[in-house]
Amino acid sequence: MIRNWFFPGLLDTGPVCDRLVAVRDGFVNLYVFRAPAGLVCIDAGWRPTRVRHGFALLGLDVRNVAAVFLTHLHWDHARGRDLFTNAQVFVSEHESPSFLGGRRKPAQPLTPVRDGQTLTAAGVDVHAIAAPGHTPGSVAYLVDRRFLFTGDTLGLRHGDAVPFRACFNRDGTALRRSIRKLAALSGIERLLTAHTGSTVDVGTAFRRWRGAGADVPPQERARP
Ligand SMILES: [Zn+2]
């Protein structure tokens, strides 16, 4: 399968852990956090019918989504957002809507988030961390102070965090800086990517990115 070759580790629709589920829309995952007062999504997928079907499989209702936090505006992460008609939709103030493509006007406005901002959505804290590189306005989100959603800033390969594939990145140097920034965070219990799954072994994933001079070893450089 092309999917397994290109994006190994992609999660099928189902539970990830306590309070967190993954929905697969083709080659991308979005995530749903069961917050105390509703559902909170990280990214939105791209095909509303597929995303709605994933929710139904999990016994969830898209109308109960109170907030959607977009890691960036590439179509495979953001085009499905209009499905969530009761949700406030957040994205970096630095992201360009032109990434969305198409002429269709969004059903609801996008609410800008800033680097370092912490919002409370449906009773859970969501902390925004600017992670430019893949796109200028890419953001990672730390949810409930323990789940780190990286979007397309990085992927997982054999348990290691690696830069997202180079051909898709706007600025590879900025991307590496962003990964080092995420690696310096403490208290993360689980790392979740958009295309290559998730790990609880955060120390191993970030081991090459921590400390002075941390960088990507040559064999791990992203390939087009
Ligand atoms: Zn992307």
pLDDT digits (tens, 9 = 90+) for 1-24: 555 666 778 999 999 998 999 999
Residue 72 alpha carbon to ligand 1 centre in Å: 7
Over 50: is that where the pLDDT of 104 sits? Answer: yes
Q: Report pLDDT for 124.
A: 98
For residue range 160-210, what is the model confidence (pLDDT) as tens digits? 999 988 778 889 899 999 999 999 999 999 999 999 999 999 999 999 999
Q: How confident is the prediction for the chain on average, in pLDDT?
A: 89
Residue 217 alpha carbon to ligand 1 centre in Å: 23
Confidence of residue 107 (pLDDT cuts 50, 70, 90): low
Residue 151 alpha carbon to ligand 1 centre in Å: 7
Listed residues: CB within 5 A of ion ligand 1:
74, 152
For residue range 57-100, what is the model confidence (pLDDT) as tens digits? 999 999 999 999 999 999 999 999 999 999 999 999 998 776 66
Confidence of residue 141 (pLDDT cuts 50, 70, 90): very high
Q: Which amino acid is at 75?
A: W
The domain in which residue 44 lies consists of 2-220
Confidence of residue 219 (pLDDT cuts 50, 70, 90): very low
Contact 150, 192 (CB under 8 A): yes
| Cβ neighbours of 108 (radius 10 Å) | 14
Rounded distance, CA 212 to CA 72, Å?
29
Confidence of residue 223 (pLDDT cuts 50, 70, 90): very low
Number of domains in the chain: 1
Q: Give the domain CATH number at 9.
A: 3.60.15.10
